Amino acid sequence: MAKSPAKVILFGEHFVVHGSYAIASSINECFATVEIIDKDDWGAASDYSNVNILYNKEKVKEGGTLHNAALIMLNEFNIKKNMKINVTSNIKGSGLGSSASFCVAFARELNKRFNLGLTDNKVNELAYVGETAFHGTSSGIDNTVCCFGGIIQFRKDKRAGMEGVNIQKIVLKDKINLIVVYTDKSSSTKEMVEKVNAFKERHEEKFAQMIKEVNTIIDDAKYAMQTGAVVELGRLMLQNQKLLEEIGVSTPEVKGILNIAINNGALGGKLTGGGGGGSVILLYDKDTPKYNIISSLEKAGYSCFTTKIG
């Protein structure tokens, strides 16, 4: 069995697809596991007609995205076997990297069960192949942070695959306290990425200016993380959120969650991942009681969990 954590994007989602920097972190509270079973019964199938996947015990539809992603990944190594794949995941809603987490765990399980001899970089490349089945154009940040863990600064140039990726680990002065909130709406990352593409086409110059702003936010955020300037970090998250609103990937519900949280002591926050609802991250200071923030969100009908990153 192999496992992969979920992720949050702290800064730069969407813009990273177009060449900006981004910062992301793995979170260990949510994860996916993948196990390939019945090895002894494997027949040498000549095609992929008998790859059965159970996702949290439910049969996965053949021809659906998850099934396709698995087949594409098997095809990369020409693995043609009948097999059952058991996937478990407690990654709810959208925004927390459920697809990337599956792809990384599956890549690791394939590596183990078929003795592929893949390094972590190669596992990441294989996971990226699966991610494209889910998201079409993808920067690869989700699979990369799920694969390597910790907090990373990420950038990808225009080269295909994972070759154009530049990753730097960020070492924090203090751990960062986050509350992750689920909105009641899941959205397709693929559709949100397409929406941003359309925005970019309509506003070329403005978008180029926004990428510069994101890169400045990320420089400042990195410094704030390295020096423990948590108030500044919260301000930068809100600044990033404004840009996400401008490109049309936020929702009034995300705004509502942020208002409740800030009024109850959060230092900042933003949507995380693809948006269109999805998940929201909130930053709070270790000396501020988080219970006010959590109980006021729960009163408003939202469920959430806390995590420490770094």
The contact set with ligand MEV (CB under 6 A) reads: 9, 13-14, 16-17, 135, 138-139, 141-142, 189, 193, 273-274
Nearer to ligand MEV, 9 or 87 (CB): 9
Nearer to ligand MEV, 189 or 241 (CB): 189
Least separation in angstroms between residue 211's CB and ligand MEV is 13
Least separation in angstroms between residue 170's CB and ligand MEV is 18
Pairing of the two strands 279-284 and 268-272? antiparallel
Q: How far apart are CA 33 and CA 28, in angstroms?
A: 12
Nearer to ligand MEV, 268 or 275 (CB): 275
Least separation in angstroms between residue 79's CB and ligand MEV is 26
Nearest to 72 by CA among 129, 143, 27, 116: 129
Residue whose structure tokens are 């270790």: 286
Q: How far apart are CA 124 and CA 148, in angstroms?
A: 8
Q: Could you tell me how far CA 161 lies from the centroid of its own chain?
A: 17
Rounded to 10 deg, the angle between the 65-76 and 120-135 helix axes is 140
Residue type, position 105, single letter = A
Least separation in angstroms between residue 109's CB and ligand MEV is 22
Least separation in angstroms between residue 278's CB and ligand MEV is 9
Residue with the CB atom nearest ligand MEV in the bound state: 139
**Terminal Cα distance for the chain, rounded:** 26
* DSSP H or E stretch at residue 239: helix 230-246
Q: How far apart are CA 40 and CA 57, in angstroms?
A: 21
Exposure string of 156-169, with b = 16+ CB inside 10 Å and e = fewer, is beeeeebeebebee
Least separation in angstroms between residue 108's CB and ligand MEV is 20
Nearer to ligand MEV, 18 or 108 (CB): 18
Nearer to ligand MEV, 9 or 107 (CB): 9
Nearer to ligand MEV, 13 or 253 (CB): 13
Least separation in angstroms between residue 185's CB and ligand MEV is 16
Nearest to 283 by CA among 228, 233, 245: 233
For 27, list phi and psi in degrees, rounded to 5.
Answer: -130, 135
Nearer to ligand MEV, 36 or 214 (CB): 214
